[in-house]
A and B are shown apart, each in its own frame.
Chain A
């Protein structure tokens, strides 16, 4: 079967076609598109960025992201774990605030801002 999809890796937004019998991708301008198409059909992954509450009134929330993309179906439980977290000390951009979030091995939540 042929699957049509838009590559979301970069703003070029190539229109990809994945033929699952031949395991072939076409329409991609670069190799990242081929990897994206195969993964998107078999097991779509996404980056998650989010906000974490702090107890400081100057920065009531700080932004975070994951250290790598996760399965789309895990987004909700990761968001829930992040939502339950409150930061109560000064921390720096790049620091890990939750390791193995929502019991996902190797998936960490990292700060993308300083907590001041």
Chain B
């Protein structure tokens, strides 16, 4: 066929990670810098605290051969005493104090920061594509309302259920998402309907929550609830790591496999459908993944704001909107931002610790201020 001879087939060789023209060095640089921040912030977190250690001591505790040569001791730290006794793990009594502190208190906090950072960044990226709205964040579809309400109910009325708070917060968030989807559904959904339904559920839930705070007799319960809702990594333990990890894995796998679907969603519902996408099914699965990811992050660390909004923004600005690059960038940039903010939250008012949510809020505000002043076409996806 004559027309084929003219075809320029140079493109056939390209087929790397990103399409030919998007230079991969930006993504590489982003990954390198983020990893650096994660390591530096992580070391700060391992060394800092009421039991003061130098970085060297912290490092030695991290690689302590007393642990690494006895894997069953590591297992004991991971699964907790009760389970460890049943499994017959070696005891950890003989370990040096610094090792114990690093391994039971400080390392889980760093790991939770990494996982929650990934979860929020992925949740934000997915929801920004699903709603075709650059301002979408992980809490858009009811997660914050549902979790917030669940938390308030537990603190005010059911303090006995406090130990199950993470689980209840997660269930609350997922329930609210289901309500949002049901409200938005009428022979199919659309991005606008979803966002509006999220606003409706959010408004009602917030009123109820505020009313409960208002009526609350016990002001300490109020304080606890506020600490939760502002988001904090203080008190993160191995159980939190183990709780978030499965959801992080699920959302990373689903999102990376679904990168092409997310790209197609950005072309609009009609085009996506004309290309053969079962749009409602894809949209629901992706939204549900994002919400699971956000709800599990809330369960582990409360409602840390702005990470899920600014990380996808920053990464998109650097590597562009195609989701393969965007999601790979978010995989390291999310943890970097959260660990950086957490290290800052510890250092700013040392020895006092701020909830990390306050720091990310301030970073988020500053970020958008700069972006708005610098970019005229800001706000278009």
Is chain B a partner of chain A in the same complex?
A: no
